[in-house]
């Protein structure tokens, strides 16, 4: 008789975003005319200077292991980038490079949490956080938000959720999936609560370069020395430099935590691919103009998708200020029949919209928001127009 796999692993659910993306890619490969707004990844090519650095690294035979938490060259490039972007001072000994920011978040949670420790996170949340907390043996404590509060938590809400078991909170700013951005004042109030109770903060700022309407970004760690000590800052190359497949993310933390995270990496992934680290060093230390060109394109797409979505009967959305996602509110459709199918939640809607409307969106059930579907507008204007034409037709029929 075979024994059961671990209880922890049996409770882990696959990533909805990656599942939708694979299904969409398979449908396309099968010749089906489907339009995709699933996984959030820039549709731009990695800029040429970065590609050249990766190619040169292979040609120069940089094909051996590097230190587990990244090369000194890359860590120096990251230190330079966060100084320029956020006026933050870190030493290279505080930098932990991993194979994607996703892995950095997972290692950060693992290093902070013992079994049974509580991790606070606002909903809607990025789908992977909940599963990562469970994988690390922690207990997710979800703070609900809605459109009325721009999907943001308050310091009071946070304080009320803190117990003796609270170890940390995860704050994703700008947020995936809501696109909302916290102001400096809002962050300061949250930071004060964290310092008062000694709560660590995993500040996932992977979308920090993607802000619109001339809004200024505040990095959580910039709110004071005590806050900085408690913060594990997460960022990376994927979103800002169109480098999702290179798999380079980083964490910045106090030296003790950085060392512990490095230890975890040394026993799990080893180190990120050497040529990818070379490319990322060029991304962070080299010219930054392509980043801004991509940001402007996203802003133009956001303006179009939001205006158009709000003109379509049955759905609505609020204006996101960052990242490249928009939350489509389905509340008017829930409990009604569409094309002969009862819509009970976003899963029902997204499934039908894909099969009948030929559009892939992400149902936010797994994001703690079962009345919303997420559209990623990191796709061409042409696709966005076509997707909305299809939505209009799908809801009108």
- Minimum CB separation of residue 174 from ligand PMP in Å reads 9
Alpha carbons 186 and 209: distance in angstroms, whole number? 19
Alpha carbons 320 and 302: distance in angstroms, whole number? 8
- Minimum CB separation of residue 373 from ligand GLU in Å reads 13
Beta-carbon neighbour count of residue 115 at 10 Å? 9
Of 172 and 321, the one with the shorter C-beta distance to ligand PMP is: 172
Of 17 and 166, the one with the shorter C-beta distance to ligand GLU is: 17
Strand, helix or coil at 375?
strand
Q: Which does 134 bind (CB under 5 to 8 A by kind): ligand GLU, ligand PMP, none?
A: none
- Minimum CB separation of residue 17 from ligand PMP in Å reads 8
Contact residues for ligand GLU, defined by CB under 6 A: 15, 17-18, 39-41, 102, 126, 128, 176
Measured CA to CA in angstroms, residue 315 lies from 87, 198, 338, 376, 391 at distances of 41, 42, 13, 16, 10
- Short-list 222, 221, 245, CA closest to 233: 221
Alpha carbons 249 and 107: distance in angstroms, whole number? 12
Q: Backbone dihedral region of 158: left (phi > 0), alpha (psi from -120 to 50 degrees) or beta?
A: alpha
- Minimum CB separation of residue 246 from ligand GLU in Å reads 14
- Minimum CB separation of residue 209 from ligand PMP in Å reads 13
Phi, psi at residue 223, to the nearest 5°?
A: -85, 10
**Tokens 């200024």 identify what position?**
216
- Minimum CB separation of residue 129 from ligand PMP in Å reads 8
Q: Which does 18 bind (CB under 5 to 8 A by kind): ligand PMP, ligand GLU, none?
A: ligand GLU
Of 129 and 394, the one with the shorter C-beta distance to ligand PMP is: 129
Q: Backbone dihedral region of 180: left (phi > 0), alpha (psi from -120 to 50 degrees) or beta?
A: beta
Alpha carbons 177 and 368: distance in angstroms, whole number? 10
Q: Which does 249 bind (CB under 5 to 8 A by kind): ligand PMP, ligand GLU, none?
A: ligand PMP
Of 15 and 269, the one with the shorter C-beta distance to ligand GLU is: 15
- Minimum CB separation of residue 103 from ligand PMP in Å reads 7
- DSSP state, 211? B
∠ CA 55-59-63, nearest 5°, is 90
Of 277 and 390, the one with the shorter C-beta distance to ligand PMP is: 277
Contact residues for ligand PMP, defined by CB under 6 A: 40, 100-102, 105, 126, 172, 176, 204, 206, 236, 238, 244, 249
Alpha carbons 268 and 3: distance in angstroms, whole number? 25
Name the residue whose CB lies closest to ligand PMP: 100
Strand, helix or coil at 123?
strand
Q: Is the peptide bond before 124 cis (omega within 30 degrees of 0)?
A: yes
Q: Which does 15 bind (CB under 5 to 8 A by kind): ligand PMP, ligand GLU, none?
A: ligand GLU
Q: Which does 236 bind (CB under 5 to 8 A by kind): ligand PMP, ligand GLU, none?
A: ligand PMP
- DSSP state, 92? G
∠ CA 84-87-91, nearest 5°, is 90
Of 132 and 227, the one with the shorter C-beta distance to ligand PMP is: 132
- Minimum CB separation of residue 210 from ligand GLU in Å reads 13
Q: Which does 172 bind (CB under 5 to 8 A by kind): ligand PMP, ligand GLU, none?
A: ligand PMP
Of 90 and 126, the one with the shorter C-beta distance to ligand GLU is: 126
Of 57 and 179, the one with the shorter C-beta distance to ligand GLU is: 179
């Amino acid at each position: 008789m075979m024994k059961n796999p671990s209880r922890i692993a049996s409770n882990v659910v696959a990533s909805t975003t990656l599942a939708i993306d694979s299904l969409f890619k398979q449908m396309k490969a099968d010749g089906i005319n489907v339009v995709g707004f699933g996984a959030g990844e820039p549709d731009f090519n990695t800029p040429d200077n970065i590609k050249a650095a990766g190619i040169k690294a292979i040609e120069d035979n940089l094909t051996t292991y590097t230190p587990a938490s990244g090369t000194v060259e890359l860590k120096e490039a990251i230190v330079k980038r966060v100084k320029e972007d956020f006026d933050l001072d870190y030493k290279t000994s505080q930098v932990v490079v991993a194979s994607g920011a996703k892995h950095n978040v997972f290692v950060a949670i693992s290093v902070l949490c013992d079994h049974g420790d509580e991790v606070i996170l606002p909903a809607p949340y990025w789908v992977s956080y909940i599963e990562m907390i469970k994988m690390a043996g922690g207990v997710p404590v979800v703070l609900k938000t809605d459109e009325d509060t721009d999907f943001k938590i308050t310091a009071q809400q946070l304080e009320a959720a803190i117990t003796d078991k609270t170890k940390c909170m995860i704050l994703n700013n700008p947020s995936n999936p809501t696109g909302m951005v916290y102001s400096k004042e809002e962050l300061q109030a949250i930071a004060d609560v964290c310092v008062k109770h000694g709560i660590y903060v995993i500040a996932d700022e992977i979308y920090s370069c993607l802000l619109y309407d001339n809004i200024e970004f505040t990095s959580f760690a910039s709110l004071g020395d005590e806050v900085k000590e408690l913060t594990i800052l997460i960022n990376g190359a994927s979103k800002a430099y169109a480098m999702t497949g290179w798999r380079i993310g980083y964490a910045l933390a106090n030296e003790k935590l950085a060392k512990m995270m490095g230890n975890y990496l040394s026993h799990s992934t080893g180190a990120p691919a050497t040529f990818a680290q070379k490319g990322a060093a060029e991304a962070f230390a080299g010219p930054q103009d392509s980043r801004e060109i991509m940001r402007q394109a996203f802003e133009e797409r956001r303006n179009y998708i939001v205006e158009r979505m709000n003109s379509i009967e049955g759905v609505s959305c609020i204006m996101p200020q960052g990242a490249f996602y928009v939350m489509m509110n389905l509340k008017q459709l829930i409990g009604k029949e569409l094309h002969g199918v009862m819509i009970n939640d976003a899963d029902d809607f997204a499934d039908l919209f894909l099969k009948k409307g030929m559009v892939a969106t992400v149902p936010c059930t797994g994001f703690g928001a079962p009345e919303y579907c997420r559209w990623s507008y990191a796709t061409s204007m042409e696709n966005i127009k076509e997707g909305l034409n299809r939505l209009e037709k799908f809801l009108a029929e």
